[in-house]
Amino acid sequence: MARKSEAERRQELIAATINEIGSTGTLNVTTSQIAKSAGVSPGLAFHYFQDKEGLFLAAMRSILSEYGNDVRQALRGKKTADERLEAIAEASFGMTSFRREAISAWVNFYALSLRSEPARRLLYVYQRRLHSNLVDALRPKIGVRAPDVARRIAGLIDGLYLRYALDTRSINVIDAETHQLDGAEGSQHVMRAIAAECAEISENDVISTEQVDPDPTAILVGPQE
Amino acid sequence: MARKSEAERRQELIAATINEIGSTGTLNVTTSQIAKSAGVSPGLAFHYFQDKEGLFLAAMRSILSEYGNDVRQALRGKKTADERLEAIAEASFGMTSFRREAISAWVNFYALSLRSEPARRLLYVYQRRLHSNLVDALRPKIGVRAPDVARRIAGLIDGLYLRYALDTRSINVIDAETHQLDGAEGSQHVMRAIAAECAEISENDVISTEQVDPDPTAILVGPQE
DNA sequence: TGAGTTATTGATTGACGAGTCAATTAATAA
DNA sequence: TTATTAATTGACTCGTCAATCAATAACTCA
């Protein structure tokens, strides 16, 4: 009965949660499974988290902040617009996000956010951050068109991720050392799309002029309490 | 105790399943709930479907074929490449796909496909069909680049759909008669991306030359048994 | 009408799982 | 050492649910 600090235990339980979601591919994981995977007794999970949803939300925060750290680190030192865009794209398809557990967690958290308001809010934060990162990097290249284009690029990143996520091959390939392969393909697609959007003659307006200036993240915003 | 044909009952149970998934936002629906919603006794579901997963798969097939019909109908009579592309985009963001139940079903089926091989196969069929529709429509405009661009457009459609899906506003807006509004915005984004991709100077090659010609759907293919 | 067939019922079973809690063990302090 | 505090246990409760199945109601055809 080794005793550990609250922070340690919480972290272990969160990691175990993500692992179990990863290996079962679903949120239908029992607290006992999670506890066992964390090497603790079934009751302990409820000492550190209010209930199962609390555990899920903590796991979600963990995944999101992991991704956030990846992006931040990738951006470090990148000066040119293209470098920064590539950093974002690569972080989105990097090893961290492409672990089997991370994929399973992402997809299941999307589903969770349909029934859990807190979960929805967390995803909203992620979406806003991604959009804002993209706008910052795009603005030097295309100015006022950045927010509009950023929406499409953000959508493309999510969509491609989802497609690769369901392609079991990419997961296996990761396991087999060539880890960057599929991720690289994903980020190349993203860079290609960015190139196309930026090359275009910027005569045309943005899709919806009205909402682009006042609130660049309009379409991502849900009803705020 | 009204008696109906097998086809009718199956259809009713499938509709009830989608409704319950829609109203709860999860696949954690009891067979009793579904049966009640279909107006039959709890036992009957198991007379027409082997088990709960069978029901889910049938519901999934129903959703996918609904979408397929939408696309087919939208394409009817459309001759020019742009018309056809717009038809695909609009069907993807049309009323049918944007019903609350359809959204919930789609997202949850994505999650389901992480643990259910048959579900994964169904999604794969959807992805292949979408890709192939896009390639057909794009080829007149960009020739050999079509398969590569189509991957990005398909990803964009999925990704934007997901973002709108989680934006609770769009759902409510739908309920309130302005149904086409958000869908139209989504498809406009798609058309904008297509314009950008097609306007680009086609000097540059495709991302992965090797897999583009022999098998246009390479990245979508899972391990086929 | 009655015998045979098929859809439908709903009570039941058996398993499982979230969350509780009193007891136990380890660490710390005095 | 003993007393105090805090972490940890695991058996238990209570509800739930997938799946079964014997009984029954409706339909068909003779």
**pLDDT tens column, B37-53:** 999 999 999 999 999 99
**Bigger pLDDT: B173 vs B26:** B26
Cross-chain CB nearest to A162 (options B158, B185, B192): B158
H helix intervals, A45-116:
45-48, 52-75, 81-92, 95-98, 100-112
Model pLDDT for residues A106-124, shown as the tens digit of each residue: 999 999 999 999 999 999 9
User: In chain B, positions 46-85, which contact chain A (CB-CB < 8 Å)?
Assistant: none
Cα angle: A76, vertex A152, B144; to 5 degrees: 105
Task: Assess whether pLDDT exceeds 50 at residue B217.
Answer: no
pLDDT of A224: 37
Q: How many helices (H) and strands (E) does chain A have?
A: 12, 0
Q: How confident is the model at residue A3, as a pLDDT? A: 80
A136-183 pLDDT, tens digit per residue, is: 999 999 999 999 999 999 999 999 999 998 886 555 555 545 444 467
Name the pLDDT band for A222 (thresholds 50, 70, 90): very low
Amino acid of residue A84? R
Which whole-number Å values give the CA distances from B20 to B24, B33, B37, B99, in the listed order?
Answer: 6, 7, 8, 13
DSSP conformation letters of B55-70: HHHHHHHHHHHHHHHH
Lookup result for tokens 């069909």: B129
B58 pLDDT band, cuts 50/70/90, is very high
Chain C bases closer than 7 angstroms to a protein Cβ: 7-12, 16-22, 25-27
Share of chain B above pLDDT 70, in %: 81
pLDDT in tens, B110-158: 999 999 999 999 999 999 999 999 999 999 999 999 999 999 999 999 9
Q: What is the DSSP letter of A129?
A: H
* Angle (CA) B184 B162 A129, round 5°: 105
CA-based angle A73:A108:B52, to the nearest 5? Answer: 165
Determine, for residues A155 and B152 on separate chains, whether the beta-carbon distance falls below 8 Å: no
What is the ipTM, given to two decimal places?
0.87
pLDDT value of residue B160: 96
CA pair distance B155, A167, nearest whole angstrom: 13
Determine which of B6-20, B61-75, B93-107, B195-209 has the lowest per-residue pLDDT on average.
B195-209
| pLDDT on residue A219 | 41
**pTM score, whole prediction:** 0.88
C-alpha closest to that of A133 among A185, A179, A81: A81
Residues 6+ apart with CB under 8 A from B28: A28
User: Of B189, B91, B167, nearest to A110 (Cα)?
Assistant: B167
* A219 interaction partners in chain B (CB closer than 8 Å): 163-164, 167, 185
